[in-house]
Amino acid sequence: MERVRFGTKVTQNWKVWRKLPVIPVTILLLLIFAAIFANVITPYPPNEMSLTNRLTPPFFMSGGSLSHLLGTDNLGRDILSRMILGARVSLSVSLLVIAISSVIGTILGMVAGYLGGRFDALLMRVTDAALAFPALLIALLLGVALGPSFRTVVLALSALGWAPYARMMRGEVIKLRGEDFVAQARIIGSSPARIIIRHIFPNVVNTLVVLMTMSVGLVILIEASLSFLGAGIPPPTPSWGSMVSDGRNLFAQAWWISLFPSLAIGLVVLSGNFLGDWIRDKMDPKLRQL
């Protein structure tokens, strides 16, 4: 009997592990690892130029070298080193933008959803206007007006990034404010602020986590687009978008300059979306598969 129980337990654990998004989580963990230890694991200084090694192909191609695993660009800078430091830039921008947007949007959405009335109507009209504007276009205009910099990118992406959080949180609060536990809190004299923080917010955390997770890839994609267009992270700081831009005119001759950063952007965006879908399925009882 003990053997049967042990075998059953192992089988159940294996089924749970099979359902985990191993590949997306691995990719995102590699991104985090590269961002944290970028200064330690980069083979070369990211901005170190060597004209004698310019346009060196990746190691698996003829003329490639193990000293430059992913090759070099037109200035002889190591592609792998620049991608590793670019991961730090992308993750830093993404985390800051998501932190700012989620805090502002969550507070506004929860207050509007609970209080209702004119404040709710006014906020929703502003939210509708923010969602109607193309985020990339507004970020590009701000980037051009204020000048490309790390601070400008964070400000530009946060300017409209709060709107999806506000709309989502408002909808969740409207569904919850009529529940019995909220009515009981009102009866015992709890203030609106206490009800929102103590009773409503814990019930919307799941939705907030899913939205934040799915925003990681989107923010990185927009940041890369701004850098590609010259309105994002200014050189010589490496970013994935600017690396793609550096190699666009040399794609026929040195395709690796643009291809590897493009693959990194695509993998991170897909990983964030897949992980967000998985978290949503696990946290939503209606979608959870037992």
Query: pLDDT tens digits, residue range 262-288?
Result: 999 999 999 988 888 888 877 765 545
Q: How does residue 47 score in pLDDT terms, banded at 50, 70 and 90?
A: confident
Give the 3-state secondary structure of residue 41. helix
Distance of CA 181 to the CA centre of its chain: 34
Q: What is the pLDDT of residues 165-177, one digit of tens each?
A: 999 999 999 888 8
* pLDDT at residue 165 in the model: 93
Given a cut of 90, whether residue 97 has pLDDT beyond it is yes
- Percent of the chain exceeding pLDDT 70 equals 91
Distance of CA 40 to the CA centre of its chain: 24
By the 10 Å C-beta count (0-12 exposed, 13-18 middle, 19+ buried), 115 is classed as middle
Of 71-75, 207-211, 286-290, the least confident: 286-290
* pLDDT at residue 206 in the model: 86
Domains annotated for the chain, with CATH where assigned, are 71-283 (1.10.3720.10)
Q: How does residue 17 score in pLDDT terms, banded at 50, 70 and 90?
A: very low
* pLDDT at residue 19 in the model: 67
Give the 3-state secondary structure of residue 72. strand
Give the 3-state secondary structure of residue 285. coil
Average pLDDT, the chain: 84
* pLDDT at residue 14 in the model: 46
Section 39-68 average pLDDT:
88
**DSSP conformational letter for 252:** T
Classify the C-alpha dihedral 217-218-220-221 as positive or negative: positive
Q: Which residues contact 264 (CB under 8 A, 6 or more apart)?
A: 83, 86, 87, 240
Instruction: Tell which wins on pLDDT, 163 or 12.
Output: 163
Given a cut of 50, whether residue 6 has pLDDT beyond it is no
- The pair of structure tokens assigned to 1 is 């009997």
Tokens 């670019």 belong to which residue? 86
* pLDDT at residue 166 in the model: 92
